[in-house]
Structure 1
Amino acid sequence: MSQTLTTLGPDWPCQVKAPGTRDWERTAARWLRDLLPARYAGYSPLTRHPVLLARHARLQLQHEVRTVRVALQTARVELPTLGVAESVIENSIRMYAVELDQLNRLARGVRLVTDALLAEGTPPAPRRRTPAQRVS
């Protein structure tokens, strides 16, 4: 595995097999789906098209990063007005900083997986024909 990490880089998600190996796209799609809220698992455009799934995961992470940054930047001003103790505020700030680092690492992983999917030329899922499109 250390050779794979060297080839793929430290930000490559360990849950995703190396590009070109058997089932790597399936592991990439599973990892990407896990980054999204559970309700997205039922949307077939996302589940059938890994590149679309990667794009949505990237957008989701961008919004989460913005949210955590705002929470971090406003904690010292807003939390005291809510009656939050100073020790809790300090713990919250540390928590937000850790979360921001984690989100940035995940975003780098999504970027790497997206690039690999595009490089592989992942074909779109075959379209199903409706009864009206079928020729007798």
Structure 2
Amino acid sequence: MPSTAPAPTLSPDWPCQVKSPGTRDWERTATRWLRDLLPARYAGYSPLTRHHVLLARHAQLQLQHEIRAVRVALQTSRAELPTLGVAESVIENTIRMYALELEQLGRLARGVRLVMEALMDDGASQRRMYAQRR
């Protein structure tokens, strides 16, 4: 009877598109997910495509800036949108949209942090294994 190790419990914030750390191809799924969070033009930058931790760091920074932008948009909607001729009903819908987007960006940011930590842990494990072989 084959023994099966229990699957590690992942945080609810772990992105469903990324396989569990330590499983086959998990880094590939993490890299694909992180790349999808960035504007397409970043796909051609070799430091980001070759170094997973740099990619994760850049995704973190990108999300931090998006969160700031959405917060400013949310905080200024009631004061600025009427002066642009936007109807009250549209303003209310816009405020709800920004609030939902902030929640989504928060979840993504937590997911990026978890993936980055796992990538760093995996890289440290690989370095230790390499050092032991020497």
2: CA distance between counterparts of 1:108 and 1:54? 12
> 2:34 aligned with 1:32, yes or no?
yes
Runs of 4+ in structure 1 off by over 4 angstroms are none
TM-score (norm 2): 0.87
CA offsets per residue over residues 34-58 of structure 1, 9 Å max, x none?
0000000011110010000000000
Q: CA deviation at 1:121?
A: 1.2
- In the aligned structure 2, how far is the partner of 1:98 from the partner of 1:50? 29
* Higher share of residues assigned helix: 2
Q: How many residues align?
A: 121
Normalization by structure 1: what TM-score?
A: 0.85
Residue 110 (1) aligns with residue 115 (2): no
Identical-pair percentage:
80
Q: Deviations over 1:71-112 (max 9, x none)?
A: 000000000000000000000000000000000000000000
What is aligned with 1:97? 99
1:9 Cα deviation (Å)? 1.0
Counterpart residue type for residue 14 of structure 2? W
Q: What amino acid does structure 1 have at the position aligned with 2:24?
A: R
Aligned to 1:57: 59
Query: Aligned AA for 1:118?
Result: M
Q: What letter corresponds to residue 111 of structure 2 in structure 1?
A: G
Deviation at 1:120, TM superposition (A): 0.6
The 2-side partners of 1:49 and 1:78 are apart by 42
Query: Which residue number corresponds to residue 11 of structure 2?
Result: 9
Q: What letter is aligned with 1:66? A: R
Partner of 2:131: none
SS of corresponding position for 1:77: helix
Unmatched segments (≥5 aa) in structure 1: 125-136
Aligned-partner SS, 1:8? coil
Distance (Å, rounded) in 1 between the aligned partners of 2:49 and 2:118: 17
Q: Which residue of 2 aligns with 1:127?
A: none
| AA of the residue aligned to 2:16 | C
Instruction: Output the aligned Cα RMSD.
Output: 1.6
